[in-house]
Amino acid sequence: MPHSASTQPVAITGLGAIGAPGRGVAAIDLALQQGRDGLGTLDLWQTELAAHYPVGQYRGDLAADLALVPGFEATPAHLARLSRSDQLALVATAEAAAQAGLSPADFARTGAGAYLGLSVCGTLASEAEYTSAVMAAKQGSRKRPPPAALFTHEGASSLDALARYFKLNGPTLSFMTACSSGANAIGLAAERIARGQASVMLAGGADSLSRIAYYGFHSLQVVSPDGPRPFDRDRKGMSVGEGAGVVVLESLAHARARGARVLGLVSGYGHSCDAHHLTAPHPQGAGAVAAMRAALQSAGLQAADIGYINAHGTATLDNDRTEARAIAALFGENSVPVSSIKRFFGHTLAAAGAIEAVVCVRALQQQVMPQNLGLRQALDDARLDLVTMPRQAKGMRHVLSNSFGFGGNNAALVFSTGD
């Protein structure tokens, strides 16, 4: 979003993230630096598949983590009002708000809102309640189970929780464009600020693990028994994950006026739809190319200006093949460093683009590109400069992040240094 007479630069002043590597940006930094695989055995519910298919599950104590949320009381009543997705979103938001130096009173005063990408929402809890009700009925019980989980089932629950604890009185919207949801939430929130329609926005994505997502991807036969190996010639598929990523966005003028530290800029955003297939991407990546090109145009940049691409890179056969072709078509083969971080987190669905946005801003701040963990031998569909170890990148000013979802919903974001 290049600055013009009708738009204003959009600053990032806070980052928050949680997922398989741990809680907080520092924990994620460490995992990326150490090349620590984030996958492990599923234990949120019982299934025979758990021993054979790893997931990116958050292992921390979410109830304890919620102590970071302003005004939160760890009582059964408070916890009953929150799904696991809600809790992940709240914890990531608390970290981002604290780094930005913004309190709930500040959010209320500035009329801040929140755009959040979601897909699983509260289904983990509603699935458990449904299963319990079915089992009770089979045993002859006529007692109706308490409907508590139904109140946290939908995506509005996460936004209601953010509004409640962070005193948001601006627009709150859920985005459900499958795995591009978090990226679209950030891009559209940034556009709102760029147009002068808001001074401060929270934006990101959150999703917990759930049975429907876990078994759904298994039914599509795209889950790997040895975890994702993005852009590997012999890749076998993805691993499902959970987590949340949230950024605090402000107009650059607003951030500077209050003396905030600018961590980076959202400088470009593009989205497109393949209109090709319910789950498969366009074979030549036409929609992916369109989203990336639109993001570059929005940022007023050329392909040669991009110093690093954080790929969607799910390690499924179709995604990696078509994304590699799309990158090569727009940027040229071996022209820009590329990596996917899916083996660190698993595929966190609607949270993926938001978590990866946090990673991209950190890459700019540290001038280090994260590695493409799990790679053994590069795919030969298109030759990419794959980052196999953390790579120094002095002078890197712009990075591109891709998020591609079912139905051909594609999003691309450009992040730039704040200097």
Q: How far apart, in whole angstroms, are the C-alpha atoms of residue 5 and residue 19?
A: 40
What is the CB neighbour count within 10 angstroms for residue 380? 9
- Cα 361–Cα 364–Cα 369 angle in degrees, nearest 5: 100
What is the CB neighbour count within 10 angstroms for residue 253? 12
Q: How far apart, in whole angstroms, are the C-alpha atoms of residue 54 and residue 241?
A: 9
Q: Select which of 254, 282, 312, 398 is catalytic.
A: 312
Q: Are 382 and 271 in contact (CB under 8 A)?
A: no
Q: Are 174 and 116 in contact (CB under 8 A)?
A: yes
Is 277 among the residues known to form the active site? no
In total, the chain counts a number of residues equal to: 419
Q: What are phi and psi of 343, to 5 degrees?
A: -75, -15
What count of Cα atoms within 13 Å lies in the side-chain half-sphere of residue 221?
Answer: 0
Is 360 among the residues known to form the active site? no
Q: Select which of 153, 271, 282, 347 is catalytic.
A: 347
Q: Are 397 and 416 in contact (CB under 8 A)?
A: yes
The owner of tokens 């608390």 is 94
Q: Are 323 and 404 in contact (CB under 8 A)?
A: yes
b/e per residue 318-331 (b: at least 16 CB within 10 A): ebbbbbbbbbbbbb
Is 179 among the residues known to form the active site? yes
Q: Where are the beta strands (DSSP E) in 208-336?
A: 243-251, 264-273, 308-310
The owner of tokens 């139905």 is 407
Q: How far apart, in whole angstroms, are the C-alpha atoms of residue 324 and residue 211?
A: 30
What is the enclosing helix (H) or strand (E) of 241? none
The owner of tokens 């996460």 is 158
- Grouping H, G, I as helix, E, B as strand and the rest as coil, residue 154 is coil
Q: What are phi and psi of 352, to 5 degrees?
A: -55, -50
Q: Select which of 179, 254, 271, 398 is catalytic.
A: 179
Residues marked active site are found at: 179, 312, 347
